[in-house]
Amino acid sequence: MIPTRGWQLGIVTWVSRVVVAEFVPSGSTASVLHQWCEVFAEGQRHLSGTAPTATALMEMIEAEDNSADVWRWIARDGGTDEVLGIAQARRNSAEPDLAEFRMYVTPHAQRRGVGRALAELAEVDIAGFGVRRIRVTALVGSAAEHFLGSFDGHRVLLRLANQVQHLSPPTAHSARPGYRIVSWRNRTPDELVHSFSEALNRLLDAPGAELQMPERNWGADEVRSWEQKMTGGSQVLLVCCAVDDSVGEVAAATVVTVDEHDSTHASQHDTVVLPQHRGHGLARWVKEQQASVLAAEFPSLRRIYTTVNAENHPMLTVNRSLGYQTVAERILVEIRRVESALHKPR
């Protein structure tokens, strides 16, 4: 094949022996979809420490039913048809001109122009859908960080700490006067769903949270939709809450998912304490109790992974007290003027 810079024929771009194209899961074979998911999962695991298995990702993608606000691409070897890299863009629900962009290239295919070819095709496609800004994360010190820094219009929004807790035998039962621990799997009890929705709304109080999630004013219906999304594929959702005994409402909560296909690790997503209950050590308490629940329900579980904004000092302090260690740092970068930025490094 002839090396070229972004030459297009329909939705396919040829660069040397790399074939890059739009990827529509419903139009691919199960084998190719599984390869796409394997590359995505491995890339995500390298970036954040944990990721759903390829099988779980396949199930989640198939459940999305080709959402109009998610776009995907694939890079394959022109000779062997091996999947060399993948990309995905997901439109922000609150800001239609913004998309979360992920791109992963297999280690042996790096420095072959695969990432550049994927980026060029993605730039053309998502600009046509009105996307003018993308947000990408990269490990500090990685080639990806250098790659992103070469784009005009790039801006570092956040520095994030990748942390891991190695599970030890459950600690002795502790208590907080006036509160009790309630935990559940997958579905919030009806009597707590409204107060739990209020807790999820307060996640935006955390430093930098507005850069990672849209504004929300959730009620029970939104919680049910969120539960369905969080339990896609083989994901198990576990929530541990501190309930205020005086009113029977959620005062603090922490959220974890475990992949049933690989229960050796868990992903810690969110921890929140409602404003009127802060200062009582509830964040540490619910995370401590959640670890005990995980150890009991998943005997093979060894590690809990989480990501914390480097400016969120209260949560970093809580995690440190529970034995979490920072194993890597990454940055959240926003690139504007997508039409020209993705393929015109300085």
Given this model, what pLDDT does residue 10 score?
A: 37
Please give the pLDDT value at position 112: 80
Nearest-CA neighbor of 72 among 53, 85, 56? 85
Q: Which residues pair with 139 in a beta bridge?
A: 330
Report the C-alpha dihedral over residues 272, 214, 103, 55, rounded to 10 degrees: 60
Is residue 85 a contact partner of residue 109, using CB atoms and an 8 Å limit?
Answer: yes
pLDDT of residue 153: 78
Q: Residue 50: what are its φ and ψ, rounded to 5°?
A: -150, 160
Q: Residue 176 in contact with residue 242, Cβ under 8 Å? A: yes
Q: H-helix or E-strand containing 28?
A: none
Residue with token string 């109009």: 68
336 in Cβ contact with 152 (< 8 Å): no
pLDDT at 170: 60
- pLDDT for 140 equals 93
Q: What does the alpha-carbon distance between residue 154 and residue 335 come to, in Å, rounded to a whole number? A: 4
The Cα–Cα gap between 30 and 219 comes to 37
The pLDDT value recorded for residue 65 is 65
Helix (H) / strand (E) element for 233: namely none
Record the pTM. 0.81
Q: CA 257, CA 252: separation in Å to the nearest integer?
A: 17
104-158 pLDDT, tens digit per residue, is 999 888 878 888 889 889 988 888 888 999 999 999 998 888 888 877 778 999 9
Establish how many alpha carbons lie within 13 A of residue 159's alpha carbon, considering only the half-sphere containing its beta carbon: 8
Contact 164, 225 (CB under 8 A): no
Give pLDDT, residue 211: 67
CA distance 300 to 203: 30
- For 63-105, how does the pLDDT look when each residue is reduced to its tens digit (9 = 90+)? 876 677 899 999 999 888 899 999 999 998 888 899 999 999 9
Q: Which DSSP symbol is given to 170?
A: P
Residue ranges of the chain with pLDDT lower than 50? Answer: 1-15, 340-346
Q: What would the DSSP string read from start to end of 250-283?
A: EEEEEEEEEETTEEEEEEEEEEEE-GGGTTSSHH
User: β-strands 133-139, 98-105: how paired?
Assistant: parallel
Q: Which of 196, 214, 221, 205 is nearest to 286 (CA)?
A: 196
- Amino acid (1-letter code) at residue 301: L
